[in-house]
Amino acid sequence: MTLHAQVRTQLGSLRLDCDLSVESDVTVAVLGPNGAGKTTLLRIVAGLTPVDEGRVEVDGTVFEDTATRTWLTPEARRVGFVFQDHGLFPHLSVLDNVAFGLRARGVDRATARARANEWLERVDLTRHVASRPSALSGGESQRAALARALVTDPEVLLLDEPLAAVDASGRLELRRSLRRHLSTFKGVRLVVTHDPLEAASLAERVVILEDGRITQEGPFADVSSRPRSAWIARMAGLNLLRGVVSDGTMVVDDGSRLTVATGIQGPALATIQPRAVALYRQAPEGSPRNVLRCTVTGVDPEGDRWRIRLEGPLPLVAEVTPAAAAELSLAEGGEVFAVVKATEIDVYAL
152 contributes a contact to other proteins by CB under 8 A: yes
Stretch that binds other proteins, among 72-80, 123-131, 201-209, 285-293 (CB under 8 A): 72-80
Stretch that binds other proteins, among 24-32, 96-104, 219-227, 264-272 (CB under 8 A): 96-104
Closer residue to other proteins (CB): 100 or 220: 100
Distance CA 116, CA 98 (A): 5
Return the amino acid letter for 136.
L
Q: Using the rule CB under 8 A, which residue among 100, 185, 220, 231 binds other proteins? A: 100
Return the amino acid letter for 254.
D
63 contributes a contact to other proteins by CB under 8 A: no
Stretch that binds other proteins, among 23-31, 115-123, 146-154, 270-278 (CB under 8 A): 146-154
CB of 189 to other proteins, least distance (A): 16
CB of 71 to other proteins, least distance (A): 13
Question: Which residues in the 38-57 window bind other proteins by CB under 8 A?
Answer: 46-48
Greatest CA separation found in the chain? 74
# of chain residues touching other proteins (CB under 8 A): 23
Question: Which residues in the 220-239 window bind other proteins by CB under 8 A?
Answer: none
CB of 134 to other proteins, least distance (A): 13
Dihedrals phi, psi of 98, to nearest 5 degrees: -70, -30
CB of 105 to other proteins, least distance (A): 5
CB of 146 to other proteins, least distance (A): 13
Distance CA 41, CA 347 (A): 32
Closer residue to other proteins (CB): 153 or 195: 153
**Cα→Cα distances 238→246, 272, 278, 336, Å:** 23, 6, 14, 19
CB of 241 to other proteins, least distance (A): 37
CB of 34 to other proteins, least distance (A): 19
Q: Are strands 2-11 and 14-23 parallel, antiparallel or unpaired?
A: antiparallel
Measured between its terminal Cα atoms, the distance across the chain in Å is 27
Among 186, 173, 106, residue whose Cα is nearest residue 140: 173
Build a one-symbol-per-residue string for 74-93: x at contacts with other proteins by CB under 8 A, - elsewhere: xx-x-xxx-x-x-x-xxx--
Closer residue to other proteins (CB): 69 or 91: 91
Contact residues for 56 (Cβ-Cβ < 8 A; gap 6+): 3, 4, 5, 6, 7, 44, 45, 62, 63, 64, 65
Closer residue to other proteins (CB): 154 or 243: 154
Distance CA 14, CA 7 (A): 13
Distance CA 181, CA 125 (A): 14
**Cα→Cα distances 307→72, 227, 255, 299, Å:** 47, 10, 25, 6
Return the amino acid letter for 149.
A
Closer residue to other proteins (CB): 86 or 122: 86
105 contributes a contact to other proteins by CB under 8 A: yes
> In the complex, which residues of this chain contact other proteins (CB under 8 A)?
46-48, 73-75, 77, 79-81, 83, 85, 87, 89-91, 100-101, 104-105, 148-149, 152
